[in-house]
Amino acid sequence: MTGLTWAELVRTTAAGLIGGGGVQVEVEARWLVERASGLDAAEVAGVADQPPTRRAVAEVAAMVQRRVAGEPLQYVLGVWAFRELDLLVDRRVLIPRPETEVVAEIAIETAVRLGARRAHPDPWAGGATRYAVADLGTGSGALALALAGELADAEVWATDASDGALAVARANFAGAGLPATRIRVASGSWFEALPEALRGALRLIVTNPPYVSEAEYAELPDVVAGWEPRRALVSGPTGREAIDHIVSHAPEWLEPGGALVCEMAPHQIEASTELAERSGFIDIETMRDLAGRERVIVARWTG
């Protein structure tokens, strides 16, 4: 390592990543070096001809070893971007995906249509709230934080049945500043986690539940099935168990005029829409993801 520079560390890291499953080894190499050094891209470029610290070199080597072994880049880095947020992620939670960023935007826009004010939190308002929303199965806390960050008057309930996932979510909430003061964390399966006082009082329910069937799980690539938490992926034999439970019970928890926003697989949209209609929802819309696939239903409850 004598004479090694930061620029050379990036190059040797990229070379070491070849064959590790990544398709953009140069990009991944820069991210790993930035993560190990604590520097951003501009700062690394600014010291390109200087020698890296021994600690950074050792940390990069350890991360390369994990990546080459097949571990997803997001877990190796330990952080991943979701909208404007940088979230802590590890094997206790699903990796935040672009599809769920779409869900967040749909949920916020739905709340605004229902009369919510879209604005960043007012530091002078403290933890004051005017209505409640719930993120069921919060995982890393991505959706809950997105809601709290842009719905300035919302009390946001973040629930999960996994203690490990809630530990990750709490860590993300702790680093989120003012918006997180309006987030309440509750442990339990779906609506069982919520206090009885919220029954019939939620303006919005948002969820990205598990929706993979057991048969589909067997066909998932190892980078997903081998690393991400099974219980956050697999709903049961059909893949619709969690969706059906949420859709059928949501009317009990929504206020009159409230809405459900639920992510699912494209092939589940038709059956879920029919169930929502049978459950008494009106104004049921299907929304598309970034690839143009039907991915989300938005259903309003009249009460």
Residue 37 counted as domain residue:
yes
Clarify whether residues 138 and 25 are in a common domain.
Answer: no
- Residues 218 and 225: their CA atoms lie apart, in Å, by 8
Residue 122 counted as domain residue:
yes
Give the model's pLDDT for residue 61. Answer: 96
Residue 78 counted as domain residue:
no
Residue 221, pLDDT above cutoff 70: yes
Q: Which residues contact 82 (CB under 8 A, 6 or more apart)?
A: 96, 100, 101, 104, 140, 142, 145, 146
Give the model's pLDDT for residue 152. Answer: 92
Q: Which residue has the tokens 């049945």?
A: 161
Clarify whether residues 18 and 143 are in a common domain.
Answer: no
Residue 151 counted as domain residue:
yes
- The one-letter amino acid code at 168 reads V
Domain boundary among 41, 70, 99: 70
- The one-letter amino acid code at 187 reads S
Beta bridge mates, 155: 132
- pTM, to two decimals: 0.92
More confident: 121 or 258: 258
- Residues 13 and 6: their CA atoms lie apart, in Å, by 10
Clarify whether residues 181 and 254 are in a common domain.
Answer: yes
Clarify whether residues 160 and 220 are in a common domain.
Answer: yes
- Residues 142 and 87: their CA atoms lie apart, in Å, by 7
- Residues 53-112 have pLDDT tens digits of 999 999 999 999 999 999 999 999 999 999 989 999 999 999 999 999 999 999 999 999
Clarify whether residues 35 and 133 are in a common domain.
Answer: no
pLDDT band at 114 (very low <50, low <70, confident <90, very high): very high
Domain count, the chain: 2
* Domain span at 157: 91-301
Give the model's pLDDT for residue 125. Answer: 62
Look up residue 280 and give its two tokens.
């008494």
Domain boundary among 70, 100, 117: 70
- Residue 90 contacts residue 42 (beta carbons within 8 Å): no
Look up residue 287 and give its two tokens.
């929304």
Domain boundary among 36, 70, 104: 70
Residue 79 counted as domain residue:
no
Clarify whether residues 114 and 64 are in a common domain.
Answer: no
- Residues 133 and 102: their CA atoms lie apart, in Å, by 18
Look up residue 215 and give its two tokens.
């048969």
More confident: 127 or 156: 156
* 99, burial (CB in 10 Å: exposed 0-12, middle 13-18, buried 19+): middle
Query: Which of 104-108, 123-127, 262-266, 296-300 shows the lowest per-residue confidence on average (mean pLDDT)?
Result: 123-127
Write out the DSSP string of the chain: -TT--HHHHHHHHHHHHTTSS-S-HHHHHHHHHHHHHT--HHHHHHTTTSPPPHHHHHHHHHHHHHHHTT--HHHHHSEEEETTEEEE--TTSPPP-HHHHHHHHHHHHHHHHTT--B-PPPTTSTT--SEEEEEES-TTTHHHHHHHHHBTTEEEEEEES-HHHHHHHHHHHHTS-GGGGGEEEEESSGGGGS-GGGTTTEEEEEE----EEHHHHHHS-HHHHTTS-HHHHEEESSS-HHHHHHHHHHHHHEEEEEEEEEE--GGGHHHHHHHHHHTTEEEEEEEE-TTS-EEEEEEEE--
- Residues 183 and 156: their CA atoms lie apart, in Å, by 5
Clarify whether residues 174 and 104 are in a common domain.
Answer: yes
Clarify whether residues 211 and 272 are in a common domain.
Answer: yes
Residue 77 counted as domain residue:
no
Clarify whether residues 58 and 188 are in a common domain.
Answer: no
- Residues 6-63 have pLDDT tens digits of 999 999 999 999 865 556 899 999 999 999 999 999 999 999 999 999 999 999 999 9
pLDDT band at 129 (very low <50, low <70, confident <90, very high): confident
pLDDT band at 127 (very low <50, low <70, confident <90, very high): low
Residue 189 counted as domain residue:
yes
120: CATH: 3.40.50.150
Residue 86 counted as domain residue:
no
Give the model's pLDDT for residue 20. Answer: 57
Clarify whether residues 220 and 115 are in a common domain.
Answer: yes
Q: Which residue has the tokens 């809405």?
A: 259
Give the model's pLDDT for residue 158. Answer: 98
- Residues 101 and 82: their CA atoms lie apart, in Å, by 7
- Residues 239-272 have pLDDT tens digits of 999 999 999 999 999 999 999 999 999 999 999 9
Clarify whether residues 163 and 251 are in a common domain.
Answer: yes
Give the model's pLDDT for residue 1. Answer: 45
- Compute how many other C-beta atoms are within 10 angstroms of the C-beta atom of residue 54: 9
- Residues 133-161 have pLDDT tens digits of 999 999 999 999 999 999 999 999 999 99
Clarify whether residues 230 and 150 are in a common domain.
Answer: yes
- Residues 165-214 have pLDDT tens digits of 999 999 999 999 888 999 999 999 999 999 999 999 999 999 999 999 99
Give the model's pLDDT for residue 123. Answer: 67
